[in-house]
Amino acid sequence: MDRMRNIGISAHIDSGKTTLTERVLYYTGRIHEIHEVRGRDGVGAKMDSMDLEREKGITIQSAATYCTWKGYQVNIIDTPGHVDFTIEVERALRVLDGAILVLCSVGGVQSQSITVDRQMRRYEIPRVAFINKLDRMGADPWKVLNQARSKLRHHNAAVQVPIGLEEEFEGLVDLVEMKAYKFEGSSGQNVTAYDVPSNMADLVNEKRRELIEVVSEVDDQLAEAFLNDEPITANQLKAAIRRATVARKFIPVYMGSAFKNKGVQPLLDGVLDYLPCPLEVDNYALDQNNSEEKVLLAGTPAEPLVALAFKLEEGRFGQLTYLRIYDGVIRKGDFIYNVNTGKKIKVPRLVRMHSNEMEDIQEAHAGQIVAVFGVDCASGDTFTDGTVKYTMTSMNVPEPVMSLAVSPISKDSGGQFSKALNRFQKEDPTFRVGLDPESGQTIISGMGELHLDIYVERIKREYKVDAKVGKPRVNFRETITQRAEFDYLHKKQSGGQGQYGRVCGYVEPLPSGSGGKFEFDNMIIGQAIPSNFIPAIEKGFREACNSIVLTDGASHQVDSSELAFKLAAIYAFRQCYTAAKPVILEPVMKVELKFPTEFQGTVTGDMNKRKGIIVGNEQEGDDTIVVCHVPLNNMFGYATAIRSVTQGKGEFTMEYLEHNIVSQDVQMQLVNSYKAAKGTE
């Protein structure tokens, strides 16, 4: 197990992570020729498999692949970086043990690098940094190194020094082994080692001393040798860097140019040397039998099976489910249990993913990333062998915050359209589909504008269905603010059996913080209403709405029926609803803004215009971080607004906080627009 690595490569857009992955696959013998991202041959890079990803230049789904390097098995997952795909990012990071953060030697630490780094920190992932594009004009790796220290708060140092920069970039000097490397051959596949050039000796010694100093600040064993002025061997230094990196106290910085095929092989060595194997990372499961208490997993094949389905794909042979195995062994033909649904499933086929080709295997053990076919589940489900009941993630999926009405343009493509929506719902728990009972439209809900745009675009591309999209809508709710009594008699006499039902009681608001949206209490003493009609009354109220207490009623021996009581309940609710002083609730978002301090006035002014309440404000270097609560209805198009007021330097993240009462003027506006819409119909 110590010969395995699970890593992710993530970076700011256009820092060259896809190009880097392409080279890694080439040198490890996984692919036999190199294709550029926007190359002339039109083939495109291996990891950008979706057309949409190639066009927009963003990763939408995490893609997994694996390769072998020097007898080690390396699983690589390409992670998306956008807020709208939170769930995809979180799950991808969830299954990784280490990561490579790619930085551009010209652009330096950019906004997206900061976001990605923040996510890695939240998941406590050890990482190495790779400064790419040293062949470009204006490349300055030392500037980027210092930016990472100041902006990302990285405790880092270079483990390599470049030989020449820009046009003259030839190779690298390894500061641990004190050797120089050049990359020769048509694609840089031949690495030749030679002595450090004499004209660089001073710089190299200075940088090696700096590396040893920085590492010894966080590693006691190395500090002892350093303070005693003992000569430090390559092996001592390597061991110290590994200890510090795995403990997340230090980040080794590599350099190179993926496009010019230089520096990729030493980076792969660094992944093996300094990033942790599955046994060195603590993974926690939540025990469902014990109110989600955290349990530390041993991570060995001897334990009971625990595996997490972190990604689904529709393959040619049905649903393909990617699993990260945390504990135990999974074999073809075994029975496994889905903890989230409680179903028992047989594993029909077990494969190892080779980008889009597969290789059948008989068994897989803890630490590996594999895929199974024909297992019906949702992404984020946990599988065990039935002896334990653990889930890997607490299943709190954020509530969707934005809705769009969609409908296929041509009537005959309805089948494909619903097929697409069903599949996306399974793949992504934050994407919901519903029907609007009033307008009969299909409503899709998700985490933001980009999220829903991408799905509409995917329906068009992958299922060839043109969909027309309505205006984004916010999910409002209603509630009551005070108690109101009701006493309603529903009586209808037509030929034959009539309808008779009387209900009395009161409605009142639930206390804040109560889990459900609706409670029904039956407080009737005696048999004023026969008990077999009570469920029908509850059903009627549930259709109409909130917390309801039934205190009395009356029935008729012949004319009372379930329908009569259900209707009585619905009309009783309508009768007392206005007396209960109803209010409208709107979703309020917690928005975190990050922007250079010089724009503070304009950004906060804009927030106040959007009725935002600022709850936190702090400085981080040259940036200001503002946390505020803003009604979602006022946040449409904010992505464009914040870019225009901060010259593209500001960024924001938004998550659902709660539903809150709207102000009186907004309520009037909503009621009037609803009446107007009803009137036109």
Q: Which residues of 396-434 are buried (b: 16+ CB within 10 A; e: fewer)?
A: ebebbbbbbbbebeeeebeeebeebbebbbbbbbbbbbe
Is 494 labelled a binding residue? no
H/E element holding 491? strand 484-492
Is 16 labelled a binding residue? yes
Is 80 labelled a binding residue? yes
Is 596 labelled a binding residue? no
CA distances from 374 to 263, 348, 377, 533 (A): 41, 7, 9, 45
The strand pair at 179-184 and 171-174 is best described as antiparallel
End-to-end CA gap in the chain: 66
Q: Measuring CA to CA, which residue among 421, 422, 425, 547 is closest to residue 486?
A: 547
Is 164 labelled a binding residue? no
Is 82 labelled a binding residue? yes
Is 15 labelled a binding residue? yes
Is 365 labelled a binding residue? no
Is 133 labelled a binding residue? yes
The count of C-alpha atoms lying within 13 angstroms of the C-alpha of 539, restricted to the half-sphere facing its C-beta, is 11
Measured CA to CA, the distance from residue 646 to residue 651 in angstroms comes to 9
Backbone phi and psi for residue 662, each to the nearest 5 degrees, phi listed first = -80, 160
Is 182 labelled a binding residue? no
CA distances from 112 to 12, 16, 32, 52 (A): 5, 13, 32, 20
- Please calculate the CA angle 161-166-169 and round it to the nearest 5 degrees: 50
Contacts of 645 (CB under 8 A, 6+ apart): 599, 602, 603, 606
Is 229 labelled a binding residue? no
Is 135 labelled a binding residue? yes
The DSSP string of 190-205 is: EEEEEPPPGGGHHHHH
- Please calculate the CA angle 499-500-502 and round it to the nearest 5 degrees: 145
Please report, for the chain, how many H helices and E strands are present, in that order: 16, 37
Is 374 labelled a binding residue? no
Tokens of 606: 């804009």
Is 330 labelled a binding residue? no
Contact 65, 353 (CB under 8 A): yes
Tokens of 673: 């627009």
Contact 444, 452 (CB under 8 A): yes
Is 556 labelled a binding residue? no
Residues annotated within a binding site: 11-18, 78-82, 132-135
Residues annotated within a binding site for GTP: 11-18, 78-82, 132-135
